[in-house]
Structure 1
């Protein structure tokens, strides 16, 4: 694109922004702080959610949340005490039956088959707005308040993953941050650690592995449930392996050993947000970490084993695992099985509406260009271009 075209494109974007943003709504469409992170505190829950929901446009063009801000947030979240929930005397009464209805409905939405979840985004937004309204304007006991805060944290986490899968990283961050505050208010340390782990996963996805490692280190000081600690250690192993170096390799092996122990210790009493962690995840994430450390043969075995162990209900994860398997075959210079795995992943991702999985396959395509006549490669490239 030439200089003139770039300039015209910029003017068009500014014009579009002027049409979307209302001057009389300022400053509601601006972040509350320079880096978009509301400081953790007893009154931060609604302002933090406002950063996620109360927006007139996609603000990715305005700011991104810095790694330093996320690290400070993680430190505060790991060290701060839970907020005392008092009996509220003002506002409309919130009944236990209504809270139970909200909890059951959100569990049902979260339990839908992967292919159906792509249709639930608007519903989840509406449920979260309802729960937030009850927390702000309702009258409820401390016990009901804790349930509402826990429900808001879970909804924020689910919505954040929807945004993340669509590549809307700023909105995903803001929902994870809002969820962290709700978990903090409910005194749910494991869920707070899980939300920090999600922010770390996003940082690693965007290539900021030092920030991801710092966040995960803070999160591990709070998590107590073995399944939660397993997931956090697996993510730590992955992000350390991506940084390379001998010292990191030793830390990777320690994290993988800790994850395996925690998974063996985990029983059926697990938080809902990490109830899915299984031998399949341990195998594939261990394989990916070893792949980055150069142990290609063992990595390929683990990735293949993990994909085989994955239950049918987790199609999106299967799509991610298939791309990992394709990458491991390419590392072994075996383009035919790599193309088969990548093709299956791409078809699955398009069927269930998972743009993040599509992006993973697209990132692999340049590596197939060295094998233009290998079986399956022309068909994969044609499918990707369609």
Structure 2
């Protein structure tokens, strides 16, 4: 029995990046032998065990055979005679198919170290095409590593395109799509996720509402980048700077302009009422991917209200109050702060405007704080019924907003 450290921990150490979770492969062992040494079985689909002291995962070496569509369509074979090389062969990319033994020596049968040095994401074997999740993983890894200079090998991109053409991505489970999307939106360059999916044709199948934005023109005086799809890419990368690792903010940025794909050709490059027309495709996207409720709720707020925040200086105090109320900002104040972040990403996500000032976010937060500071217990409510109490509280909060502006 021999144990190897594998996967991301080995890869990240070679890249000089902080290590995350450690995973181990055990060669030459049976489940009974693992349990006899105190390992606790946890694997449902294949033999995985938790170390009795560290609780890290140890998986028996295994092979996989395609037996159906999608990422669940596999049968697993795990016997003591399966070699490390056979186990590594089933992995997605060469940079993830490197192992390290107890002596610190690397086992690299598929050239992963050379690909790390060349900054290339390359599939290990033709079996890559059997699992459509690998397309999403390729795009997610590009969102993480494009700032380091990574690119996808030509032959891997060709294989990804063939998977899309053959309909393999159509078997992806919605929850898994959203999981990979959410993880990609937490990376430093989420724009690379969209570009990679679009390059292989998967974006139109997975996120057709977003894919439809590419090629849609905007007014050049407001959007020097012109293309709406490019605008969304720029916004996502600004959001990654403003709120690093925040998938909720990034999801709202991703979906805030979906209405622009529905603008009649006669109205282009203007996009009248796109903040309203964007709600229908946003609902469709959220329902299809089974998006969490707060993601969907905040995304709808940002889609509907982002233009109002942009012109905040023009709004009356009563209009500002009602905007906050529509966000449920008195019960859920964090929503207003997040709306401001999304709007700043929208403003700065334009060619040549990455460093632009956006005072509206600070102003919105200040007006919101003033309104929040007004509590019912601070008001004289004697003799008032429910609706009258609500109206008096509203007027007091409007007055507080107006006072900040005076």
Higher helix share: 1
Q: Whose relative contact order is higher, 1 or 2, with alpha carbons under 8 Å and at least 6 apart?
A: 1
User: Fold match, TM over 0.5?
Assistant: no
The structure with the largest alpha-carbon Rg is 2
TM-score by length of 1: 0.36
